[in-house]
Structures are given as structure tokens and as C-alpha cells.
Homo-oligomer: A and B are copies of this chain.
Amino acid sequence: MALEHAILISLSERAASGLELTRRFDKSIGFFWSATHQQIYRVLARMEKDGWITSTVVAQQGRPDKKVYVFSADGHAALAQWLAEPTPNSPLRSELALKMRGASNADHREAVLDVVRTNLADHQTRLGFYEQLCKQDYPAPDSLSGRELDQYLVLRGGIRMEQGWIEWLTEYLAAHESRTTSKDTA
């Protein structure tokens, strides 16, 4: 039940409508907690029913009305309680690791190597994106504090994770390429 709390955190930074929240989940918060608009609308309805948030219909120029949500005292309390709760470390869940394990059982070696290469390239792209974001938005990390410091540190985590993946997949490919079969040299 973390989506409720993700929404509370986002609303605590600034009030928003369902669609605006969806857009935020495509960006910063979405880098470590994604959600579709269907999920968000569903949870917003439940949260309002539970009294965590309240909505106001806001008319717009040249656009349909939107429902802007703000969070209530109850929502604030719920968030505070959740923040203090221990969070179990989510175990690694990787289809790619599964495929690595499956590759040894038959002649699927090359197919899996290709999959790994594709994913490695994707991780490298994402790392580059994160690093650029980091350099642009936080040129002087040592002087950060408050919300900006936390946002920076979370981004650092994304960078470290991507680096970990890249190192792992690189090691995987190197190990298999150094044991190349004769087929490859033909």
C-alpha cells in the first residue's frame, strides 16, 4: 500500500489533480515508483473516501474542469505513521537473471547474450540520462539541504543502481565472451 503514501508525498510538495499527479509519476517520483493514471484515480477515490485528502473542482480556461486534491490532517498523520514504519528490503526480482540461469540448459546461449546486450545498452542510456539530470539540477551537491538534498540523494541512488547493473552485465558478457566457442570465430 505504498501508492497512497507516494501520492501523499507528492501532494505535500504541491496540490494537484489526478492527471497532474500522473505526469509527476512519469518523472521524478516515477523513477522509483511508477503508476498509471487508472491506478492513481482509483487510489485517489479511496483516499478521499477515507478522509486523507479533499478535492475541489477548479474551472480552467479552454480546458475541462479538474479536481485538485489537497491532503488533510488525517492524511498527514497517516503519512507520518507510515514514514516511521520499518520497510522490508524488496528482494531483487529480475527476469534477466532468470534468463541467465536458463541459458545453460540448451543452445540458447547466443539468444540470451543478445538479450543481455540489449539490456546493458538500455542501462547505459538511463545512466547517462540520470547523470545529466544530476549535473544540471544539482551542480553544487555539498551546499544542498532540505527537500533538494533528499531529491539529490535519491537520484544518486538511481545512478548507483544503474552502475551496478552495468558492471554486472559487463562482467557477465566478458565471462562468456572469453569462453567463446569456435562457432564465433568462423
Give residues in A with beta carbon < 8 Å to B: 2, 5-6, 8-9, 12-13, 29, 31-34, 76, 79-80, 82-87, 89-106, 108, 111-112, 114-115, 118-119, 122-123, 126, 145-147, 149-151, 153-154, 156-158, 160-161, 163-165, 167-168, 171-172, 175-176, 179
Contacts and interface: CB of A to CB of B under 8 A. Distances in A.
A21 to B, nearest CB: 14
Copies of this subunit: 2
Contacts of A151: 101
B172 A97 contact: no
Main secondary structure of the interface of A (DSSP, over half): helix
Contacts of A168: 156-157, 160-161
A99 B83 contact: yes
Given A104-B149, A167-B160, A94 B98 contact: no
